[in-house]
Chain A
Amino acid sequence: MAEAEVISNATPTEEMNGAGNLMDFLDEPIPDVGTYEDFHTIDWLREKSRDTDRHRKIRNRRKESLWEFVKSLLDAWSGWVVMLLIGLLSGTLAGVIDLAVDWMTDLKEGVCLSAFWYSHEQCCWTSNETTFADRDKCPQWQKWAELMTGHTEGAGAYVLNYFLYVLWALFFSFLAVSLVRVFAPYACGSGIPEIKTILSGFIIRGYLGKWTLLIKTVTLVLAVSSGLSLGKEGPLVHVACCCGNLFCSLFSKYSRNEGKRREVLSAAAAAGVSVAFGAPIGGVLFSLEEVSYYFPLKTLWRSFFAALVAAFTLRSINPFGNNRLVLFYVEYHTPWYMAELVPFILLGVFGGLWGTLFIRGNIAWCRRRKTTRLGKYPVLEVIVVTGITAILAFPNPYTRRSTSELISELFNDCGALESSQLCDYINNPNMSRPEDDIPDRPAGPGVYSALWQLALALIFKIVITIFTFGMKIPSGLFIPSMAVGAIAGRIVGIAVEQMAYHHHDWIIFKNWCRPGADCVTPGLYAMVGAAACLGGVTRMTVSLVVIMFELTGGLEYIVPLMAAAVTSKWVADAFSKEGIYEAHIRLNGYPYLDQDEFTHRTLATDVMRPRRNEPPLSVLTQDSTTVEDVEMLIKETDYNGFPVVVSRESERLIGFVQRRDLTLAIKTARQKQDGVVSNSVVYFTEDAPQLPASNPQPLKLRRILNLSPFTVTDHTPMETVVDIFRKLGLRQCLVTRSGRLLGIITKKDVLRHMAQMMNQDPESIMFN
């Protein structure tokens, strides 16, 4: 025990304390020291050094007894155990959400009489009454009009079905928004911008809490089933992170250390995407590329494991009955040709344009919601948007069904046995073909009417998604973005296919469409379009391509997907640098330091506080401040920490002490330690200062003092300072000149300075 103390004393951290002084109450840690307040940023360096100390302590105790040895083993394994639990729970929740959404979406149209818990497809699963012409009809499944009036056809039945469809949609979305409002307001939105901010070191208490988890899971099902233009993928990442946070509280290693906790959350985000898309590797890369801030190799392996367990759990639940993890899993085997890269790149351009339009439109609308009277009626807004969506969606068969099903149909290739309208090609085996070497078929009337309906669906989706994302219900934008891209891609695909059929003598088609092979796969165009649109909105590249490739299970299509993803990123970046998540982070003013270069030539001295004509910095001295002085200082200022100097004359820097730690330490000392009164001297040195005997008992606070605060000189360029803040995750940095303390730069100052340099309102950055 004593040995361990000595070793830990050798490090210059706040763990250093004088053992031996019996009166020193601080030998036992004060509860809550080292935690943070709501809406504050964490100090990554401090968290890291605290974890190193904890780890060293455990390693040193290991040799003492068998029990300590077992404890150290448990500690080493706890990270993997947490990952296992996260994978199990997020996989299970994703399965529950998938099954419940499947059932509830169909509930809008009808009900299964033999067992109410079956969706339409499950209801007719064993039925022998399905016919070739009408494949999803069976007597067990009844539409509402049929159940109520007995008629299946006719205007009356249509109107009744229409009315009930809208009514159910309104009911589901009303339930969702009121549950969110009453139980967990933090459950609304997609959650990815907030998770990005949290992972970069911001504290939002309750954002990953148990109630948020419960309400987000329950309302996500309602929101998706209500037929609104939103997806479950983004919210699933939030749900998985909530699971991560839940299991962190089981192990003190993670619950006591905000830095370690964020490593677990990064891995949980990977598990979330893993189950959302059935793409475990894509999930890991998504976490790395899109959400994480600090992603060491250890986290990479753990994310890999969590994603694996989550995917396995979801697979064993088998929610779609197709032994796949997603509804729109496809398998193509047809090759693609070089000339097709042109339409693929055009789809990439479309994706970039859609991304720009969506981000601009959505941010403008969200800003309106934030600043004008519109924001006062969140429930009404949800109801109105749901009403409009349902009324416009029902007449069009492509918007009536769930968006995942739509994407699934658009991705699918037309086999000979497909019943879909999109596959209504003129396919008469007796027909004498004009030339035998053209494998493609002319489009039938069904395809042309489907094209019209798809074009209308495209316009509808583009417009309504802009207004849907950001409402006060759980809503993700992956699925609607993919739907927009898939519709556009399918239209382009059919156009190219028909062009190849009707103009087979053109020179490009002559080389391209060889005899005996299908030369154009419209489903592949839909998939490329989906990737392009998703890329345009989120600006993902690598993870996006991997996710799409895991969806198709074919390595052949990597090049088309890459071409489309890169083009859409270029086009979208030409208009604006930030993706939808960064745009939302900036709209809300979260303190997020992004990875962009800082190119302005300012110095630390221009940014530091105090400015030239401001009062001097509030500092503590190492051995002459009294408890009363400290309390006055805490009461009169709202700074989050105070530098400690040798004396007011010399101003040489000793260390830095956090406001919260100081408050707690003094409060505890006043309660528990005898002899501490208002004019007791507070000292941060190793030994108590020489005081006259008449003075009251001094208070030692060395334990809460950070002896290694980060310092820069006043002539350090801001470029370097920003880099230090970004890479080390600092919370504040002290500015000195030849050892004398000059001022302080906080993360807030850096963010405000950056906003100012980019001509934005610096006051919009949120900080408590």
Chain B
Amino acid sequence: MSLFSVKTGVSVLTLICLLLAATEAKNSEDIRCKCICPPYKDIEGQIYNQNVSLKDCNCLHVVDPMPVEGKDVEAYCLRCECKYEERSSGTIKVTIIIYLSVLGLLLLYMVYLTLLEPMLKRRLFGHSQLIQSDDDVGDQQPFANAHDVLSRSRSRTNMLNKVEHAQQRWRRQVQEQRKSVFDRHVVLS
């Protein structure tokens, strides 16, 4: 139990480190200085976008080529608004890919749990047992139930069995939750 939580903690910390590391790895494309210049006399409004550092982020450096003559430059530049922005494309990429893979795994597992497993079970054990195993879950006391499974899973040494029992226990809990949320509407409605 505590080993499991330590593992969770470690994996969580790894995730954080990964994201922070991705934040650090700055791409050269990740800074921009964007100047928006409104219409001036007969010149149309323009947007200038340059990859320059924060101290160079002003109209004189970014607006290139300058659309007005020497004496008008100052007046033109006064109207422009320059904004320095930073982002981290690495973080975005890593985050979206991690998110999509987690979502994909969950979807696969969901399809397995809802469609494939009942089919396999039906083929293996026949129809009657499936109904029975569905029936005996709900009415028992939740804590007596959990203890039973817990003590059984302790006595076995086989790793695979342990995983299976943990999964069984979890599924029983979810079923219990589903009953109280979706069917009986006692919580969260």
Contact = CB atoms under 8 A, between A and B. Distances in A.
Interface of A: 37-38, 85, 88-89, 92, 95-96, 99-100, 103, 115, 117-118, 122, 125-128, 130-133, 135, 175, 178-179, 181-186, 188-189, 194, 204-206, 210-211, 214-215, 218, 221-222, 246-247, 249-250, 313, 316-318, 321-323, 366, 369-371, 375, 378, 415-417, 470, 472, 587-590, 766
Contacts of B139: none
A659 B143 CA distance: 13
A92 B189 CA distance: 29
B81 A417 contact: yes
Nearest to A209: B173
Contacts of B96: 99-100, 103, 117
Given A99-B95, A318-B87, A181 B16 contact: no
Contacts of A214: 102, 106
B174 A100 contact: no
B107 interface: yes
A132 B46 contact: yes
Nearest to A124: B49
B188 A92 contact: no
A110 to B, nearest CB: 16
Which of A92, A118, A205 has the most CB atoms of chain B within a 10 A radius of its CB?
A92
B120 interface: no
A256 to B, nearest CB: 11
Contacts, number: 172
A38 B186 CA distance: 13
Contacts of B91: 95, 99, 317-318
Interface string B84-96: 0111110111011
5 contacts: A37-B143, A96-B99, A125-B29, A186-B187, A588-B188
A92 B51 CA distance: 28
B110 interface: yes
Contact of B5 (A89, A127, A249, A589): A249
Contact of A321 (B47, B85, B97, B142): B85
A426 B16 CA distance: 50
Contact of A38 (B20, B81, B143): B143
Contacts of B107: 175, 179
Given A130-B47, A369-B185, A588-B186, 17 more contacts: A38-B142, A85-B13, A88-B13, A95-B19, A99-B95, A103-B96, A126-B32, A131-B47, A132-B47, A183-B110, A185-B180, A205-B142, A249-B5, A371-B185, A472-B181, A589-B186, A766-B186
Contact of B19 (A38, A92, A323, A472): A92
Given A92-B15, A96-B95, A125-B32, A186 B181 contact: yes
A96 B18 CA distance: 12
B44 A132 contact: yes
Given A95-B95, A122-B92, A417 B188 contact: no
A181 B106 contact: no
Given A186-B188, A250-B6, A318-B23, A133 B45 contact: yes
Nearest to B45: A132
Which of B87, B91, B110 has the most CB atoms of chain A within a 10 A radius of its CB?
B87
Nearest to A366: B189
B36 interface: yes
Interface residues of B, number: 62
A249 B2 contact: yes
A92 B81 contact: no
A128 B9 contact: no
A218 B187 contact: no
Contacts of B8: 210, 246
Which of A38, A210, A211 has the most CB atoms of chain B within a 10 A radius of its CB?
A38
Contact of A185 (B44, B46, B113, B174): B174
B174 A184 contact: yes
A130 B36 CA distance: 11
B37 to A, nearest CB: 8
A321 B93 CA distance: 14
B152 interface: no
A117 B92 contact: yes
A96 B98 contact: yes
Interface in B171-185: 173-174, 177-178, 180-182, 185
A125 B87 CA distance: 9
Interface in B135-189: 142-143, 170, 173-174, 177-178, 180-182, 185-189
Contacts of B15: 92
A181 B182 contact: yes
The 8 residue pairs across chains A and B that have the minimum distance between CB atoms: A132-B45, A117-B96, A321-B87, A185-B181, A249-B5, A185-B177, A370-B189, A370-B185
Contacts of A589: 186
Nearest to A371: B185
Nearest to A379: B182
B133 interface: no
B171 to A, nearest CB: 10
B114 interface: yes
Contacts of B51: 126
Contacts of A38: 142-143
B79 interface: yes
A588 B189 contact: yes
A218 B189 contact: no
Given A210-B8, A316-B20, A415-B81, A128 B142 contact: no
A167 B96 CA distance: 21
A117 B92 CA distance: 7
Contacts of B119: none
Contacts of A186: 177, 181, 187-188
Interface in B94-139: 95-99, 102-103, 106-107, 110, 113-114
